[in-house]
Amino acid sequence: MSFTPDLDRRTLLRRAAAAGLLAVPAAGLLGACAGSEPSTSDDTSSGQKSADNPFGLKDDSAVKVVIFNGGLGDAWAKADQAIFTAKHPGVTVNMSSTQKIKTEEQPKMATQPSDLVMNSGADMMDISTLVNEGAIEPLDDLLAAPAWDGGGTVAETLLPGTVGDGTFQGKYYVVNVAFTVWGNWYNGALFSREGWTPPTTFDEFFALAPKIKAKGIAPYVYDAVHGYYPRWALMATIWKSAGKQAVVDMDNLKENAWRAEGVLPALEAWEKLVKDKLLLPGKLDHTQSQQAWLDGKAAFIQVGTWLKNEMSATIPPGFEMKLSDYWGLGATDKAPKDVFAGSGEGFVVPSKAPNKAAAKEFLRAVLSKSGAAQFAELTKSLASTKGSGDNVQDSALASANELMKNAGSDLISVKLWDFYADLDKESQNLTQELMAGRLTAAQFVDKMQAAADKVAKDSSITKQTRNA
């Protein structure tokens, strides 16, 4: 894919794939230590604690930091290192970058691990295994610590959903530093030139579509190869139309959840888009569809905020990338302002890390205002710290930042593809069929409900619960 380009590899894809692609051998990550609690041994590198040194970092210590060097690069991490070193010049930071996180770091977890590991990319370690086997530290004390720049706690500086995304079994384990926003992208320069107003509802889109077609441009293009791409858009419309509880019920396999009020009309909007021949012809994958959009062959494409970084080499001069929210149905929507967004690119601190104090202090620097601002500037992606994109002069990032500022009280998220591999696969297949015009919205609902019922009745499948 190049998922977010790895945002690097789109957060949702990585989560959905983790259970299958990243399975750990039956012997367990820590061998004989499997099922053990996180290490409670004293950190030999801890010193005197204070308000400005909440974890008691020793000046003469060293910290080993491993960065995932994917689509986001590692320049932002080097900037964080400079921020950290300015406050703690006596601490030696040994930073390295790799794409082979699981291959290189997992074997060390039971013996002498690195102090801080960015667990990301296709070769990431399975989080549920790390948590269940006590291989990583709970970081609730980091959330409660003073923010690097002052003005409250670290937790209070984070964007909505970030803490929840990193919480497992009631404890905070994963510090996600990037924040992805999904929606419909358009060329602001083209729209200004033609006098077009970006639609906010499907009705507005359908009214604009003939004007777009009159210019020889397809109204819409999407990745027709990977089913999870258009599924993001379908589920966002369902959430907006039917409301959060409808999606929570789907995740929880509630009886007839797919028949809730508002679900079918949401899917019918996409069915109409296909039937009205508003799609660019051809079975294009993610980068091909994105390039077609950049080439002016289509007016809209749906994807996340990794888009600019992923396509940076082929963006035409004068092309003004802007992100607008997914379209709803209008007055009947139950959650019209909720935005599809979430955090990713997560750091973990191994339980047997020799310098946990330094690892946590480094994370404070990463989550600082200055660190987040440099992250946004260097990656053209939002950081999980509030306000990271406020001062970045970039149309793509600015539009995503504005979208988040005006977002509703809940962020759109779907768990069923994380919870159940069979539903993940079926929902992708059915989405492709709907978008190809081989399935009606009503048939989509019937088939998804049947698939959900099958999983619900299968006692061999461990059931997951999503709270409201």
Q: What is the pLDDT of residues 215-268, one digit of tens each?
A: 999 999 999 999 999 999 999 999 999 999 999 999 999 999 999 999 999 999
Determine the pLDDT at residue 35: 38
Burial per residue of 177-206, b for 16 or more beta-carbon CB atoms within 10 angstroms, e otherwise: bbbbbbbbbbbbebbeeeeeebbbbbeebb
CATH number at residue 273: 3.40.190.10
Q: Which residues contact 467 (CB under 8 A, 6 or more apart)?
A: none
Answer yes or no: do 171 and 286 share one domain. no
Answer yes or no: do 250 and 201 share one domain. yes
Distance of CA 94 to the CA centre of its chain: 28
Tokens encoding 351: 């339980």
Answer yes or no: do 248 and 363 share one domain. no
Query: What does pTM read for this prediction?
Result: 0.77
Answer yes or no: do 185 and 243 share one domain. yes
Residue 455 lies in a domain: no
Residue 114 lies in a domain: yes
Q: Which residues contact 440 (CB under 8 A, 6 or more apart)?
A: 271, 434
Residue 288 lies in a domain: yes
Answer yes or no: do 263 and 403 share one domain. no
The last residue of a domain, from among 341, 366, 395: 341
Answer yes or no: do 110 and 17 share one domain. yes
Residue 439 lies in a domain: no
Answer yes or no: do 102 and 173 share one domain. yes
Rounded to whole angstroms, the Cα distance separating 262 from 281 reads 29
Answer yes or no: do 185 and 61 share one domain. no
Answer yes or no: do 408 and 332 share one domain. no
Determine the pLDDT at residue 20: 28
Q: What's the total number of domains in the chain?
A: 2
The last residue of a domain, from among 366, 386, 412: 412
Determine the pLDDT at residue 380: 84
- The single residue listed with the structure tokens 């994370």 is 363
Answer yes or no: do 249 and 101 share one domain. no
Determine the pLDDT at residue 25: 33
Determine the pLDDT at residue 46: 61
Residue numbers of the domain that contains 85: 11-180+343-412
Phi, psi of 16 (to 5 degrees): -65, -35
Residue 159 lies in a domain: yes
Tokens encoding 202: 């499907």
Answer yes or no: do 121 and 208 share one domain. no
Rounded to whole angstroms, the Cα distance separating 3 from 399 reads 20
Block means of pLDDT (10 residues each) for the chain, 468 residues, are 33 35 36 39 63 92 94 91 97 96 94 95 85 94 95 93 87 94 97 98 98 98 94 98 98 97 98 98 95 98 89 94 97 97 93 97 97 92 90 88 88 87 93 98 98 96 83
CA-to-CA dists, residue 252 to 381, 429, 465, angstroms: 32, 21, 6
Determine the pLDDT at residue 146: 96
Residue 453 lies in a domain: no
Tokens encoding 397: 């990032």
Tokens encoding 143: 């959330």
Nearest to 181 by CA among 467, 418, 396, 333: 396
Residue 194 lies in a domain: yes
Residue 466 lies in a domain: no
Determine the pLDDT at residue 15: 37
Answer yes or no: do 167 and 221 share one domain. no
The last residue of a domain, from among 314, 341, 368: 341
